[in-house]
Structure 1
Amino acid sequence: MKTYLTLFIVACQSVVALAQDHENKTPYLTKSLTNDAINSVVVSTSAGGISVSGQAGQSPRVEVYIRGNNGRELSKEEIQKRLAEDYDMNISVTGHELSAIVKNKHNFSNWTRSMSISFKIYVPQGVTTSLKTSGGGIELDNLKGNETFSTSGGGLRIDKLNGVIHGRTSGGGIDVSNSNEDIDLSTSGGGITAKNCTGKIKLMTSGGGIELANLKGNILAHTSGGGVEGSNIEGELSTNTSGGGIDLKGMNCSLEASTSAGNLVAQMTKVGKYLRLSASSGNIEIELPQKQGLDLDIRGESINPSKISGFSGEWSKNHINGSVNGGGIPVSAHASGGDINMRFN
């Protein structure tokens, strides 16, 4: 099955307007996907946002929202005129793949004529996506498939995805929640929040902090532009920052954490295969499980307390090398420019 919707002045007459508003705005047009059994979505737009949802109870469809630059409202006649003169926009379904492509016919010498063209798409859950925009945010929810998306002009918001998730933005923050399997997200222009996710998780930012909560799996989280906060993490976590401190609570995992710009706090309910902590210009505070067998390598300007019950090995003012509870799991903490405070829970 192959259907086309090429959006010029004449083609606009065949589009049915959607009665329901999106964000208090009525779509410029809508296209029903009820009979197309969509399993793949490809979207490209240069100045607008993209939303793809597999939420149950929604009629499969594409909604298109068009506004003038700086959010200025335009009449339908003015939109039709600018589409015909300045844009090629095509929405088509071929072999169960939805394609929504916007192209500028020329570079705008008069930027006041530019428009924001956004898409909100409702599809079945088992959909693969390839999404790209340079002028808005991207939102995805309730999907099960391989999702690839990028924007240089907005944030990423991801909820209830299950599959291979690969997203990039250089112009906004990232919020990911309730998602699983293989998550790879990065931004150079904002912070990252990740909550209630499992699997292989990679989070990278050079422009903000990172907040992690209720994660389980193999997790890599890096920032050079802010601090890191984490709670209730299981599995394996590697995190580092050169732009802030690190505060980790309720850790039940293997952990490697380092900072060159602040203090480091690690509260371990259980140490996994290893614990490696490093701070170049701040203090380290460690809370360790009392009954685990640990091999300690602790170095700092000073170490508190001055002794630990059941310890065997060498202990000095700024170096501990020995074991507790018979040893076993390697624990290292190095504070080259600060103190180390250690306690057992």
Structure 2
Amino acid sequence: MKKITAYSFALLLTLATLATSFASLALDKKPFQVKEFTLNGVGKLQAKTSGGSIKVTGGSGNQVKVMVFVTPANWKKRLDAPSPEALAKYTIDVRQEGNTIYAIAERKDKGWNKEDALSIGFEIEVPEQMACNLHTSGGSINLASVTGDQEVKTSGGSLDFKNIKGNMNAHTSGGSITLDDYQGNLNAQTSGGSITIKDAKGRVKAHTSGGSIQLHDIAGDIDAHTSGGSIHADITSLGKYLTLETSGGSVHATIPGGEGLDLDLEGNRVKTALTNFNGTSDTRRVKGTVNGGGIPVKMSTSGGTTELAYRL
């Protein structure tokens, strides 16, 4: 037992040392390239990389600062600088055309060799009014404090948004989506993770095939669907409709009381208070009107409980 304990301690110590080394490396990382530009009006950003993350932050002024970070994609070589031979196989294009900023990193050939593969990421500071088109095939995307139309897509990481105003399409095939403080029309879709949205106003469409959906302090039109998890929604103000559907978990929503509603609730068990109700109800289905009818509220699950509560 003592040998096992000693071995476990040594292993934990080694892991802690490695974690500290990587943390120090992350803090001390220096950009491979830095470029600055001046805009003369509302700007657009086109950022694309095949093997790294993208982080965009809005601020005051009309300056754009693009920082390029390059590291070996092979984890065994992460502490080493990228070799000239590996760099020669990539194109890094950071430039300005009018009020459009381009930050593009891509491999010259389409082959993949893990020994010389690079992770090329961007950290970009932009004016607040900036329409962004961000795309990466192998990393996460962070976007904060911008106004305008946003197109965001990753095939291999998570999406994290904060303080966004404007219309946005956000799609990931391999990670979660998190959003805090949003105003506009949102289309958020993931095939492999959860969706969490806090403090949003406008139209929200949130679809996932592999996780739960959490909606907190939401006002507006809401359409949330998941095939593999539960849905929890805290609605401060209803819009034109509320639709919450899952095939693999429970559905719970809290909405303002006193509204005229057209209810359609379905699940293995349905729980709600029915006041001024006209329609049909049993333990598995409630369909009818509340307070004379009005806003369509559809909640359904094939694998759990559907519960609708009212905020007084």
TM-score range, shorter chain: 0.7 to 0.9
Would the aligned equivalents of 1:62 and 1:120 in 2 still touch at CA under 8 Å?
A: yes
CA distance in 1, matches of 2:154, 2:289: 50
Q: Does 1:158 align with 2:161?
A: yes
Query: Counterparts of 1:87-166 in structure 2 under 5 Å?
Result: 87-108=90-111, 110-166=113-169
SS at match of 1:123: strand
Range with bigger deviation, 165-174 or 230-239? 230-239
Residue of 258, 272, 278 corresponding to 2:266: 278
Tell me the residue number matched to 1:222.
Answer: 225
Q: Which secondary structure does the structure 2 equivalent of 1:107 belong to?
A: coil
1:64 aligns with 68
Choose 240-249 or 50-59, whichever is displaced more: 50-59
- Describe the superposition over 1:273-307 as per-residue Cα deviations: whole angstroms up to 9, x where unpaired: 3222111xx2111034x5xx331321337xxxxxx
Q: Is the 8 A contact 2:266 2:306 kept in 1?
A: no
Between the aligned residues of both structures, percent identity stands at: 31
Higher alpha-carbon Rg = 1
The Cα offsets for residues 125-159 of structure 1, whole Å up to 9 and x where unpaired, read as 11111111100011111111110011100011111
Q: Secondary structure at 1:81's aligned position in 2?
A: helix
Match of 1:329 among 254, 268, 293: 293
Q: Is the 8 A contact 2:94 2:104 kept in 1?
A: yes
In structure 2, C-alpha distance between the alignment counterparts of 1:140 and 1:237, rounded to whole Å: 27
Q: Distance in 2 between matches of 1:150 and 1:130?
A: 8
* 1:52 maps onto 2:56 in alignment: yes
The 5 Å alignment of 1:181-220 reads 181-220=184-223
Q: Is the 8 A contact 2:47 2:134 kept in 1?
A: yes
Which whole-Å CA distance do the structure 2 matches of 1:320 and 1:109 have between them? 55
Q: Note the C-alpha offset of 1:333.
A: 9.1
Q: Does 1:294 align with 2:297?
A: no
Q: How does 1:264-275 map to 2 (within 5 A)?
A: 269-275=257-263
Cα distance in 1, alignment partners of residues 49 and 246 from structure 2: 34
Please name the residue that 1:4 is paired with: none
- Whether the 8 Å contact between 1:39 and 1:128 is mirrored in structure 2 is yes
1:81 & 1:339 partners in 2: Cα distance?
A: 58
Instruction: Report if the CA contact (8 A) 2:253-2:309 is conserved.
Output: no
Q: Which runs of 5+ in 2 are unaligned?
A: 1-24
Measured after TM superposition, the shift of residue 79 of structure 1 is 4.1
Q: Distance in 1 between matches of 2:202 and 2:279?
A: 30
Change (3 A) 1:87 1:335: closer
Which residue in 1 is equivalent to 2:247?
242
In structure 1, distance between residues paired with 2:41 and 2:177 = 30
User: 1:58: Cα distance to partner?
Assistant: 10
- Mapped partners of 2:279, 2:198: distance in 1: 32
Q: Deviations over 1:298-334 (max 9, x none)?
A: 1337xxxxxxxxxxxxxxxxx999999xx62379999
Deviation at 1:36, TM superposition (A): 6.6
Number of aligned positions between the proteins: 282
Is the 1:58–1:122 Cα contact (8 Å) retained in structure 2?
A: no
Separation in structure 2 between the aligned mates of residue 103 and residue 40 of structure 1, nearest angstrom: 20
User: In the superposition, relative to structure 1, how do residues 144 and 179 fare at CA in structure 2: closer, same or farther (>3 Å)?
Assistant: same
Conservation of the 8 A alpha-carbon contact between 1:299 and 1:334: no
Higher mean C-alpha displacement, 228-237 vs 203-212: 228-237
Amino acid at match of 1:244: G
Q: 1:27 to 1:287 in 2, by over 3 A?
A: farther
The corresponding residue for 2:11 is none
Deviations 1:69-115 (A, max 9, x none): 14543555x4443212x111111101111111112122345312101
Following superposition, the deviation at residue 61 of structure 1 comes to 0.4
Structural mapping, 1:30-41, within 5 Å: 30-34=34-38, 39-41=43-45
Look up the SS of the partner of 1:270 in the other structure: coil
Alignment partners' CA distance in 2, 1:180 and 1:242: 29
* Residue identity in the other structure for 1:275: L
Shift of 1:181: 1.2
